[in-house]
Amino acid sequence: MSSISKLRLPPRDKNYGGDSRRVGVEIEFAAVSPSRVASRIADLYGGAADCEDPHRYHIRNTRLGDFLVELDTQYAHRAPGEVAPTASGFQGLMETFSHAMREIYGDLGSLVIPYEVVCPPINVERLPELEAVLEALRQEGAQGTRDNLLHAFGVQLNPEIATMDPHWVLAVLKAEILLSEWLRSIISVDMARRFMAFADPFPKAYVHLILKKEYWPDKDQLIDDYLIYNPTRNRELDMLPLFLWLDADRVRRKIPDKLVKPRPTFHYRLPDANIREPRWSLTLEWNRWCVVERLAEDRTVLADMGAAYIENDQSILSEDWALRCTEWLVL
């Protein structure tokens, strides 16, 4: 059994609507069939596993909500609203062929593309209940980030926002950027994930812009600036789902990608999926995220750290910023 850290709560425990904040979790893995993982989840939390296709299983009506286990690619699955082949004649033949090709693509793709467990949003206090999913994956022999050079796998946390106030949203974004090098150091982000660029750091020009002490724009300007420098999902803190939820028209004009879906959450993509490491846990990664939110509450420290970061970044003899972060956090 893994050594589970004690759960820490964020400074703000209510969401934008006044309810308890929730968090969604996505866990990427390989080497275990989705049917087996779906069955284990149903054993753990109740509910029933339902096969949509060979590479996508729904586990509905569990005590935590609805889970999904699927191969993380749209090309292995039917399009939304598409049903299994039912037509006859040539049309039926083509539908059957298309269905078979998706299955073959999924079989081949699973050699390098991860499966993922998409957990239902749950109250933050209940996050430790999801550690049983990790333990089940370990028992089944699932592979994570460090088990194969091609495994650029991650765990994604989706914490609900505490308020729609753009200055609070920006404060969290500033805090994550300031702590990025420290987080990457303690997480020890795997080389494959750095090479594949699924969780890239923010470009320096954008970092220098938003870390300025006077940078506290309104919502529209905040979103516009983000889209100019970050027209991609591949950021360690992907803000596109949240900004799409806040202002769909503004974001869709620049980001037509339908894979970006609106959510009132941050999309924190940095952690590796260290499934086989017994001391690693979802709670540990959540606690690291809480360090970000705690820093976001102190605007004075944010301003001071931002100025120090820019000065250090522009210096010929720059210091190790991850180490400087440690000093800021403990002093």
pLDDT of residue 39 exceeding 60, the answer is yes
Q: What is the dihedral of CA 9, 15, 21, 27, to 10 degrees?
A: -100
Q: What is the pLDDT of residues 131-177, one digit of tens each?
A: 999 999 999 999 998 887 777 889 999 999 999 999 999 999 999 99
Give the Cα separation of 34 and 243 in Å (integer). Answer: 32
pTM equals: 0.89
Q: What is the pLDDT of residues 59-68, one digit of tens each?
A: 999 999 999 9
pLDDT of residue 285 exceeding 70, the answer is yes
Instruction: Tell me what pLDDT residue 80 has.
Output: 55
Contact 212, 306 (CB under 8 A): yes
Judged by average pLDDT, the poorest of 22-26, 183-187, 306-310 is: 183-187
Side chain identity at 220, as an amino acid letter?
Answer: D
State the chain's mean pLDDT as an integer: 88
pLDDT class of 85 with cuts at 50, 70, 90: low
pLDDT of residue 77 exceeding 50, the answer is no
Q: What value, to the nearest 5°, has the Cα angle with vertex 236 and ends 130 and 239?
A: 90
Instruction: Tell me what pLDDT residue 87 has.
Output: 53
CA-based nearest residue to 112, from 170, 30, 187: 30
CA-based nearest residue to 116, from 76, 69, 57, 158: 69
Instruction: Tell me what pLDDT residue 217 has.
Output: 98
Give the Cα separation of 80 and 21 in Å (integer). Answer: 29
Judged by average pLDDT, the poorest of 87-101, 117-131, 156-170, 282-296 is: 87-101
pLDDT of residue 109 exceeding 90, the answer is no
What does the radius of gyration of the chain's CA atoms come to, in whole angstroms? 21
Helix 166-187 and helix 321-330: axis angle, to 10°? 120
E strands within the chain? 22-29, 48-53, 56-60, 67-71, 115-118, 122-123, 155-159, 237-238, 267-268
Q: Tokens 């909500």, residue?
A: 65
pLDDT of residue 83 exceeding 60, the answer is no
- C-alpha distances (whole Å) from 331 to each of 135, 301, 328 are 36, 11, 6
Residue 144: HSE in the Cβ half-sphere, 13 Å Cα cutoff: 24
